[in-house]
Amino acid sequence: MAELLVRRAAPADVERLAEVHVRCWQETYRGMLSDGFLASRGPADRLPLWRQLLESAEPAAVWVASDDGTVVGFGGTRRVPPGESWHDCPPPSSGDLELWGLYLLASHQGLGLGRRLLQAAVGDSAASLWVAADNARAIGFYRHFGFTPDGAADVIPDWENLREIRMVRPDQALLRKLGAAGGAL
């Protein structure tokens, strides 16, 4: 029986993460981006990013999902400093924690690994994320875990004008406390 685990990413994962990252893009964005665009992306394009994230003195907050020791997905977060953003939008109401990526190979979706990656990455914290506006499956997944669109939208010109929307969620532990207290704390 396969052992499905979620753990903190390590420098030894860099090459496999670059491969998984590109393969997930190819699976996720097929139909949203041209085949030519997707084919032009390769693991070598992602290696510098993964090396920077995991081989620095202060490694980034990244978790991996693995199947019998083979990385099959990842989730990463960052704290967005005030005034800094990759998007031309006001800061989210959820604060500075951003889920910058959550990807899982199609072969491993539906097994609970996405939920486990999300939990490892953000826990019950208030958070925001950006998702392709046409990625109904991902939007549904994030809605299931309390994220809702906040009205912010953007386009990534270098990605064939891929449209994105921002989703946010409040602190989940606080919501449970409010619910248990009848809405009053």
User: DSSP of 120-156, one letter per residue?
Assistant: HHHTTS-EEEEEETT-HHHHHHHHHTT-EEEEEEEEE
CB 94 within 8 A of CB 80: no
Tens digit of pLDDT for each residue in 68-85?
999 999 999 999 887 777
Q: Would you state the pLDDT for residue 173?
A: 76
3-state helix, strand, coil in the chain (%, to 5): 35, 30, 35
Tens digit of pLDDT for each residue in 93-125?
898 999 999 999 999 999 999 999 999 999 999
Q: Would you state the pLDDT for residue 102?
A: 98
Tens digit of pLDDT for each residue in 35-72?
999 999 999 999 999 999 999 888 899 999 999 999 99
